Amino acid sequence: MPLNNNAYNAFISLAKNTDNLISKTPLITVAIKDNIATKQLPTTCASKILSNYTSPFEATVVRQLIDAKRYSLVGTTNMDEFAMGSTGLHSIYGPTINPLLEDRVPGGSSSGSAASVSSTEAMLSLGTDTGGSVRLPAAYTSTLGFKPSYGRLSRHGVVAFAQSLDTVGLFATDINILKQAFMDLDKYDPKDPTSMADIYREKLNKSNKKRDPNQPIKIGIPVNLCSGLSSTVKDAFINWINTNLLSNTKIKVEIYPLYMEILNMCLPVYYTLAPSEAVSNLARFDGIRFGSRKSTLEATRSLFGDEVKDRLILGNYNLCQDSFHDTYMKALKLRVQIIDEFDSIFTMQNVYTDSKGNSDGLDYIISPTNSDLPSKVADTKKGNNNVKEYIADILTVPASLAGLPALNIPSANKGIGIHLLGQFGDDHGILNFANSVY
């Protein structure tokens, strides 16, 4: 049975003998989000319907950690059920506690992965990011949280929420550990149909070599997205820009205001597409193929928690006859426009769309990761923050919809993060740039 004897309820299951699970000479302790399959421990997705499930195989990313022989497994981490939620409170194993701000939510859905690193119970953790589920908890717990470009890390063995958005992500407090883990996992996987093929990886390597290191780095700040920031976040963001960019002698930067009107559409597009894909993905949990079984399908499906049910209802509505063309299909078209808009802004080419890149464009886009401080746990449990919970990802979903790499960097203020966003495939560029400003 899963154990719950950790201080911040960050773990669902704890490894009994960490030295033998991954490496005989462990260097880096690692925690795995409970929707990423391991053979040694249960994979429950923090849900009643999978409470007794142990996978017969391990996810590719877990196998890659084993093969690297530099990691030691601590356990599997708590999360919002089936990765649906932005608070870390929607788990059958109880809420994850924010190690830095115990009266405030740790963020979700990768709450335990963030808390395990923030509390130093693990040096590295794996999470999943669909609309901000790595970056938001990283901001709330003041850790590094990296969402790679879509397709760079394998999703084989990861329980799907929304396949066109889901990305395995990484948490750490040491940028070098984050970079090492990314290099160990950044490989093509034939078992994952969405894995980036080697031909595109080779194109990216050539593109990165063309950069002139003597040229200033051009940074865009999305004015329209930053207009709704709380005063606390705005002050922290301005302070970070002044301290870490403008006063930084390691790098030369140029900062430009950026207005992308289409970014205002990202949140409704996300909440149209993600729940719709979830409807299909969670249909397999019927008590026959996967999941615990009750006497009727209705009783079996009742094992889902309230947040999952709410999103499935929304997804079914988006796919019904009356809404499909006006809502779902329109969202798909807008998503293409969002990708095209980013392609027109960045200097680097998008190897998937064959965009030529804008020679006068930007290298990176920087904004806060969260628009306000984490909500108080007491208020959230009372249902006072239902709307706030759904709009918490407003600054992170654009990267998810376009499949772009994005990294949360902690600011000097607890619970407030800085969001660094780059062109598709520019993962190493983001990590190297972060090394200069973190």
The single residue of 125, 133, 276, 411 carrying the catalytic annotation is 133
* The residue to which tokens 């798909």 are assigned: 332
Within 8 A by CB and 6+ apart from 94, the residues are 4, 9, 78
Query: Do 128 and 169 meet the contact criterion of CB atoms below 8 Å apart?
Result: yes
Asked if residue 39 belongs to a domain, the reply is yes
Query: Residues of the chain with pLDDT > 70: what percent?
Result: 93
How many residues in total does the chain contain?
Answer: 438
Asked if residue 323 belongs to a domain, the reply is no
Within 8 A by CB and 6+ apart from 416, the residues are 139, 232, 233, 236, 237, 368, 369, 370, 373
Q: Return the pLDDT at 297.
A: 46
Question: Is 344 one of the annotated active-site residues of the chain?
Answer: no
Q: Return the pLDDT at 321.
A: 86
Tens digits of residue pLDDT in 143-184:
999 999 999 999 999 999 999 999 999 999 999 999 999 999
Better-scored residue on pLDDT, 20 or 177: 177
Q: Return the pLDDT at 1.
A: 37
Relative to beta strand 364-368, strand 417-422 is: antiparallel
**Count of CB atoms within 10 A of residue 214's CB?**
6
Using CB atoms within 10 A of its CB, is residue 383 exposed (0-12), middle (13-18) or buried (19+)?
exposed
Asked if residue 232 belongs to a domain, the reply is no
Query: Do 223 and 255 meet the contact criterion of CB atoms below 8 Å apart?
Result: no
Q: Is the pLDDT of residue 20 over 50?
A: no
Q: Is the pLDDT of residue 51 over 60?
A: yes
The single residue of 33, 154, 276, 411 carrying the catalytic annotation is 33
Q: What is the DSSP string of 4-63?
A: --STTS-EEEE-S-HHHHT-SS--EEEEEETTB--SSS---TT-GGGTT---SS--HHHH
Q: Is the pLDDT of residue 314 over 70?
A: yes
- The arrangement of strands across the sheet holding 28-33 comes to 11-14, 71-77, 28-33, 124-129, 167-172, 144-147, 406-410, 417-422, 364-368, 217-222, 253-258
Question: Is 116 one of the annotated active-site residues of the chain?
Answer: no
Asked if residue 153 belongs to a domain, the reply is yes
| Counted domains in the chain | 1
Within 8 A by CB and 6+ apart from 93, the residues are 2, 4, 9, 12, 46, 78
Question: Is 51 one of the annotated active-site residues of the chain?
Answer: no
- The partner residues of 167 in beta bridges, in order of sequence, read 129
List the alpha helices (DSSP H) in 257-414: 266-281, 297-301, 306-319, 321-323, 330-345, 377-381, 386-391, 397-402
Q: What is the CATH number for 176? A: 3.90.1300.10
List the alpha helices (DSSP H) in 186-296: 198-209, 223-226, 231-240, 266-281
Query: Residues of the chain with pLDDT > 90: what percent?
Result: 84
Print the domain residue range for 169.
11-187
Q: Which two tokens stand for residue 307?
A: 């947040």
Asked if residue 92 belongs to a domain, the reply is yes
The single residue of 51, 72, 86, 109 carrying the catalytic annotation is 109
